Chains A and B, each alone.
Chain A
Amino acid sequence: MWYGRPVPTSANERLLDAEPGSAPVADVEASSEGGPFMLNGKRGRWIVLALTFAAAVASVAATSGPSAASDKALAPSNLKGEFTLVSHTGTQLPFDVLIKNFNAAYPNVKVDVQYLPPGATFSQPLLARINAGNAPDVLFTNPGPGGDVSAYQLGKAGKLLDLSNRPWVKRIPKVHRSIFYVGNKVYAEPVFMTASGVTYNTTAFKRLGFKVPTTFSQLLQLCGRAKAAGIYLMALPGLAGNEVFISASIPNVYASDPTWNTKRVQGKVTFASSPGWVKTLNRLIALRDADCFVPGWQSANTNTVAQLLVSGKAIAALGPSAAIARYQPLTPDQTWASFPFPGDKATDRRAAVGYNFSLSVSAATKNKEAALAFVDFLGREGQSRLMAKLFASVSLTDAKSGKIPSALTDYAPLIKGDKTVPRGTDIWLTPSTFNNLAVVIGNVLTGQQRPAEALKILDDTWGK
């Protein structure tokens, strides 16, 4: 069983509500919920065996088609209705499949779906709609308090429906309850866990004879080799580099201090004074100077990155593994996977696993029954595993059974060795930190500011 490092429950709840600079609370690692979540001893082995058997049964069921056998066994529902769903364009192709499955189970429920481009063009109009009282019935959210469309913040403000009595809630890992619980209420359905690193075209890597780099110098070498082969190693969204920054920070910030996020919440460290964050930006500058990025990266957004990857002009990009959902359906003859962003040494690599995607239901929904039927449907084991597969991520069931999907094979030794770190957005206090990551990376890579200078933006807006 693995869920990554625990985000403490009650302690974290206090951390999330704490004012910046308030009295420090118990360290994450010292939490009673803490420690690596590996099952040891005789009892543990029995549980592992039982879980493996259960997982095997479930996987056989899941392989019988897009809808799991257990889901198929249910007769189509008589529920009638319609609801609106807003998500971002990166989720469109998987959702096409999932909605089709939902309509097989609920033939009389119409899903009125709208996809908006990711980034600020997604969060701004969506939050404006929610504030104007015109929220969609079901919406894409980020579960932690620091996400762009934070279910934690929206739930606390009474904008989302309490989902704590839904059947899938019991699958939320104990160690991650603080991300989803606001008091005793749950405002987001954790659909899967994603890994932040480097997504890459495995077919192209094989063709070019590239091996997955385990050190930063190896990564730099690949840039030169890719250029010699007439392509570029990476596509970089210079106008929307939030996720790039998160992925690159993992070995540089968290290898030496896995509890950095907690310390930042406690006011013990700052971005600007942490060598790891400065190093992260210097590493990105080194990649820029080694011609790793497709020219024009300065004005590229996530759409441009997708086009460059699908067209084969670049073969890798920094970001969450869930982004593969965007490239894979458009390149059926190729396969995609993700590897952890490398540090100085192979031992610096860490697996950043967390939840950058959840589903919530608006508190103002007039189509509650249909909306809940949808989130519950996606919460079914078969659908949730299918969804995780489509997003190159891990379902909660598979995480519990210790099963690592093929797209995340490069993370396996780190996960098994408990070298995992949570996503910053699951812990950071407000969405402004995540939003400003794009400004910082843009300013530094285009030479407008030096790293330490630019990182001050994150400290100045921390908790605001």
Chain B
Amino acid sequence: VIEYELNPSRDIPRRRRRVRMPGVPLLWAVPGFVLAVLVHFVAVGAGAWYAFTDWNGISASANWVGLDNFREILESEVARGALWHTLELTAVYVILVNAAGLFLALALNRTLRSRNFLRALFFAPVVLSSLATAYVWRYLFEFNGPLNQFLGAVGLESWQRPWLGDPSFALWAVVVVFVWQYAGLAMCFYLAGLQSIPEEVDEAAAIDGASLWLRVRAVTVPLLAPAMTISIAYTTIQGFRIFDTVVGLTNGGPGSATETLTTQLFNQGFAASRFGYGAAFALVLALLISIVSITQIMLLRAREARV
């Protein structure tokens, strides 16, 4: 008691710690929550509804057709091709863009004096319009364009081909352009990860006699796991959503060799005036992105925890 009287302030903070701030009524969050739902989900939900109709995008009414649009996606060879191309393109893109990004990040992390200039140089394509970039590359890939002219000049005439018109190469030409444009972005993710790795860890491994390759493989890459999670998840979503680059380069052609879910969505929804069918592609794409991204993030997070 005496102690209490002598030093009353000692107890006060303890009591203060126990005092809880008056809680914010949940009701206050309702307007913001409603607004968020309206902006983010209602419009998307309304779009999803059209996937179950035969709306042509211009008439006043739409008829409910149930799962017919999805059935047609499964039955149509072009639509199945678009789904397959999307998966192929995304898988190859994610691997290549992350490999290129990681390589650039490791190369430009510390040692080079001109690293800041080079980082800016490799990041520059990211800020360019995908469509504009695609048109420039389209010119490069033309049959009489600079790429084939170069091949001719160095005696590789047999390698010359209509890069964007050959069904065996067109999709990979799209991947090349997409990787070229976004390798700088992956580089940024990995550079941010590398900056957070203490130099001492690398130095300790070097003192212990680990070679450069062993240090990268056993020290740097495992510690980059969080950056890798972000980069792989982001580029996967980007790969699934690829549109401008395909439209600018091939518009889905030759024939349907580079059709993806997004080009089908647009071509069916707008060019062929089949908005309902186009919306079904959008829904399939959204589901695909959700399933793949969630699975991927869960696996990568589990890997992070193990590291």
| Residues of A near any B CB (own CB < 8 A) | 119-121, 123-124, 127-128, 130-131, 148, 150, 153-154, 156-159, 238-240, 295-301, 304, 430-432, 435-436, 438-449, 454, 456-457, 460-461, 464
Known: A153-B56, A296-B165. A123 touches B271 (CB 8 A): yes
Most buried by A among B56, B75, B163: B56
Interface size on B, residues (CB 8 A): 41
Can you give 30 contacting A-B residue pairs, CB < 8 Å?
A: A120-B267, A123-B270, A123-B271, A124-B270, A127-B57, A127-B270, A148-B271, A150-B273, A157-B56, A157-B58, A238-B165, A239-B253, A295-B143, A296-B142, A298-B165, A432-B268, A438-B253, A439-B253, A439-B255, A441-B255, A442-B254, A442-B255, A443-B257, A446-B254, A446-B255, A448-B255, A449-B255, A454-B255, A457-B78, A460-B75
- Give the residue of B54, B58, B247, B254 whose beta carbon is less than 8 angstroms from that of A153: B58
Taken residue by residue from 118 to 154, chain B's Cβ proximity to chain A (1 for < 8 Å, 0 otherwise) reads as 0000000000000000000010011110000000000
Instruction: Indicate if B251 sits at the interface (CB-CB under 8 A).
Output: yes
Taking the closest CB of chain A, its distance from the CB of B261, in whole angstroms, is: 16
B residues sitting closer than 8 Å to A (CB atoms) are: 54, 56-60, 75-78, 138, 141-144, 162-167, 170, 247, 250-257, 266-268, 270-275, 277
Instruction: Please report the C-alpha to C-alpha distance between residue A364 and residue B257 in the assembled complex, in whole angstroms.
Output: 39
Closest 8 CB pairs of A and B: A298-B165, A296-B143, A442-B255, A443-B255, A299-B165, A157-B58, A299-B164, A432-B272
* Chain A residues with CB under 8 A of B56: 153, 157, 430
The answer on a CB contact under 8 Å between A444 and B255 is yes
Asked if A439 and B78 sit within 8 Å, CB to CB, the answer is: yes
Contact of A299 among B163, B266, B275 (CB under 8 A): B163
- Contact B273 A431, beta carbon cutoff 8 Å: yes
Known: A120-B251, A439-B256, A444-B255. Contact between A156 and B167, CB under 8 A? Answer: no
Q: A454: nearest residue on chain B (CB-CB)?
A: B255
Q: A124-B266, A127-B273 are in contact. Are A299 and B57 (CB under 8 A)?
A: no
Report the Cα distance A37→B182, complex, angstroms. Answer: 62
Q: From B259, which residue of chain A is reached at the shortest CB distance?
A: A439
Q: How far is the CB of B85 from chain A (nearest CB, A)?
A: 12
Residues of A contacting B271 in the complex (Cβ-Cβ under 8 angstroms): 120, 123-124, 127, 148, 431, 435
- A431-B271, A435-B267, A446-B167 known; A299-B58 Cβ under 8 A: no
- B51 to nearest A CB, angstroms? 15
How many A-B contacts are there with CB distance less than 8 Å? 133
**For B138, B144, B273, which residue has the most chain A Cβ atoms within 10 angstroms?**
B273
Does B166 contact A298, Cβ atoms closer than 8 Å?
A: yes
Bound-state CA distance A128–B57 (Å) is 9
A186 to chain B, nearest CB (A): 18
- Which residue from B76, B247, B250, B266 sits with its C-beta under 8 Å from A460? B76
Q: Which of B57, B257, B270, B274 contacts A448 (CB 8 A)?
A: B257
Q: Is the CB of B162 within 8 A of A299?
A: yes
Considering only CB atoms, which chain A residue lies closest to B272 in the complex?
A: A432
Quick check: B77 and A457 within 8 Å, CB to CB?
A: yes
Chain A residues contacting B247 (CB-CB under 8 Å) are 121
Q: What distance in Å separates the Cβ of B214 from its nearest Cβ neighbour in chain A?
A: 46
Chain B's closest residue to A432 (CB) is B272
Please tell me if the beta carbons of A464 and B58 are within 8 angstroms of each other in the complex. no
Report the minimum CB–CB distance from B61 to chain A (whole Å): 10
- Interface contact A299-B141, CB-CB below 8 Å: yes
5 further A-B contacts with Cβ under 8 Å, apart from A119-B251, A430-B272, A438-B253, are A131-B275, A239-B251, A435-B267, A445-B254, A464-B54
Known: A120-B251, A121-B251. A128 touches B143 (CB 8 A): no
Chain B residues contacting A295 (CB-CB under 8 Å) are 143, 162
Tell me the smallest distance from the CB of B253 to a CB of chain A, in Å.
4
Chain A nearest CB from B87 CB (Å) reads 18
With a cutoff of 8 Å between Cβ atoms, the chain B residues found around residue A159 in the complex are 58
* A464 pairs with B77, CB closer than 8 A: no
Q: Is the CB of A430 within 8 A of B273?
A: yes
The smallest C-beta distance from B55 to any residue of chain A, in angstroms, reads: 10
In Å, the complex CA distance between A121 and B138 comes to: 15
Bound CA–CA A109/B107 (angstroms): 61
Inside 8 A of A130's CB, which chain B residues have their CB?
A: 58
User: Which residues of A lie under 8 Å from residue B77 when comparing CB positions?
Assistant: 456-457
CB distance from A373 to the nearest CB of B (A): 26
Closest A residue to B59 using CB positions: A157
- Given contacts A124-B271, A127-B273, A157-B59, whether A299 and B143 have CB atoms under 8 Å apart is yes
Report the separation of the CA atoms of residues A60 and B103 in the bound assembly, to the nearest whole angstrom: 75
* A156: contacting residue among B57, B59, B75, B142, CB under 8 A: B59
Q: Kindly report which residue of chain A lies nearest to residue B173, judged by CB atoms.
A: A299
Q: Which residues on A sit within 8 Å (CB–CB) of B164?
A: 298-299
Q: For residue B162, which residues in chain A have a CB less than 8 angstroms away from its CB?
A: 295-299
- Cβ of B270 and Cβ of A128 under 8 Å apart? yes
Q: Which of B143, B144, B165, B254 gathers the greatest number of chain A CB atoms within 10 Å?
A: B254
Complex contact A442–B272 (CB within 8 A): no
B255 near A435 (CB under 8 angstroms)? no
Cα-based distance from A34 to B270 in the complex (angstroms): 36
Choose from A296, A430, A446, A457 the contact partner of B257 (Cβ within 8 Å): A446
**Residues on the A chain within 8 Å of B76, using CB:** 457, 460
Complex: how many Å from CA A440 to CA B78? 10
- Inter-chain contacts of B266 with A (CB < 8 A): 124
Q: How long is the Cα–Cα vector from A315 to B185 in the complex, in angstroms?
A: 46
Bound complex: CA A297 to CA B170 (Å): 14
Find out whether the CB atom of A446 lies under 8 angstroms from the CB atom of B165: yes
Which residues of chain B are within 8 angstroms of A296 by Cβ–Cβ distance?
142-144, 162, 165
**Given A120-B267, A127-B273, A430-B273, A239:B58 Cβ within 8 A:** no
Q: Nearest Cβ in chain A — how far from B198, in angstroms?
A: 51
A148 to B270, CA, bound (A): 10
Contacts of B78 in A (CB 8 A): 439, 457
Shortest Cβ distance from residue A333 to the other chain B in the assembled complex, whole angstroms: 24
Closest residue on chain B to residue A430 by CB atoms: B273
Expressed in whole angstroms, the minimum distance between the Cβ of A336 and any Cβ of chain B is: 23
